[in-house]
A and B are shown apart, each in its own frame.
Chain A
């Protein structure tokens, strides 16, 4: 009985490890990409025009970009998105964990002042250290 339990546990852990390896293998596929000095990967097209690549990914008439401390995981990204998407005039939010930036898409007549964005990010639990309007 104990042996059977141990086999079940070993099998379960083995399946989990196999599941885990799939995204790792996927992450090794970098066709059409360029490795940055920090080890991250960027599409060749984005290398040629990084700002255009960011702006085209955000559904908006204009964007503001914040550099943020404390961005380490997808839960951080989700918290920030859900906090900022409640703000009037915000159409989209993209979080880049590698660049440590939050890009906020706005309507043409939308505004998100530096102090307001800093406050919203603080409310979500993060610290804004730089702000740029595109």
Chain B
């Protein structure tokens, strides 16, 4: 069996990207439910939008290889700047909860920040996040995304994006990775699919209620 610190480091590496692709704040009273899967994990994340600035959520993640799971509430604060043809957002979040390994719970906490700018043709985003675990290592991770829409869609039509995500995970076996992906959304649904240079297919789905 692998030592727990190494396993937890792996957990954090797998879990962190999902906090950034998600769009945690929607309209007041609305809820975003997000599910994601790749060869290493399955994830469910729900966020309730309290008002335009705050969302309260819950994240549950199961790690297939290690048969471990992490659960906990998460609070997100958002800021938005609206322009005639674009918008920019900054999100800051933090959460805490147990990480279960071999039926033993380890106290853990996490947080991060993300900024994005988009218009109807271009998308850019960058973020950083950390995960700290009692009796385990602190973990830091950074990501950046760029995207282009091959066509400009109107409200009610299928929106499509071609995106490239680059991840930097100090301490991981492969420090850098890139994931070309397709993002599409239509109505209340958003889904993403890509293939990472680390290997494996990534699929994410989000629905707003």
Quick one: given A69-B82, A123-B28, A127-B82, are A23 and B153 in contact (CB under 8 Å)? yes
Contacts of B151 on A, CB cut-off 8 Å? Answer: 23-24, 27
Neighbour of B82 across the interface among A70, A73, A94, A97, CB < 8 A: A70
In the complex, which range does the number of interface residues on chain B fall in?
35 or more
Does the CB pair A74–B153 fall under 8 Å?
yes
Q: A122 an interface residue at 8 Å Cβ cutoff?
A: yes
Does the CB pair B154–A125 fall under 8 Å?
no
Instruction: For A25, give the chain B residue with the smallest CB separation.
Output: B151
Neighbour of B195 across the interface among A12, A69, A73, CB < 8 A: A12
Contacts of B119 on A, CB cut-off 8 Å? Answer: 72
Residues 27-76 of B contacting A (Cβ, < 8 Å): 27-28, 30, 51-52
Residues 142-173 of B contacting A (Cβ, < 8 Å): 150-160, 162
Quick one: given A70-B80, A100-B84, are A78 and B208 in contact (CB under 8 Å)? yes
A31 and B188 CA atoms in complex are apart in Å by: 29
Residues 85-100 of A contacting B (Cβ, < 8 Å): 94-98, 100
B16 nearest CB across to chain A (Å): 22
Neighbour of B52 across the interface among A10, A12, A122, CB < 8 A: A122
Does the CB pair A73–B185 fall under 8 Å?
yes
Instruction: For B159, give the chain A residue with the smallest CB separation.
Output: A74
Q: 1/0 per position for A70-86, CB-CB distance to B under 8 A?
A: 10111111111011000
Instruction: For B201, give the chain A residue with the smallest CB separation.
Output: A12
Does the CB pair B199–A5 fall under 8 Å?
yes
Neighbour of B159 across the interface among A73, A79, A123, A126, CB < 8 A: A73
Q: 1/0 per position for A118-134, CB-CB distance to B under 8 A?
A: 00001111110100000
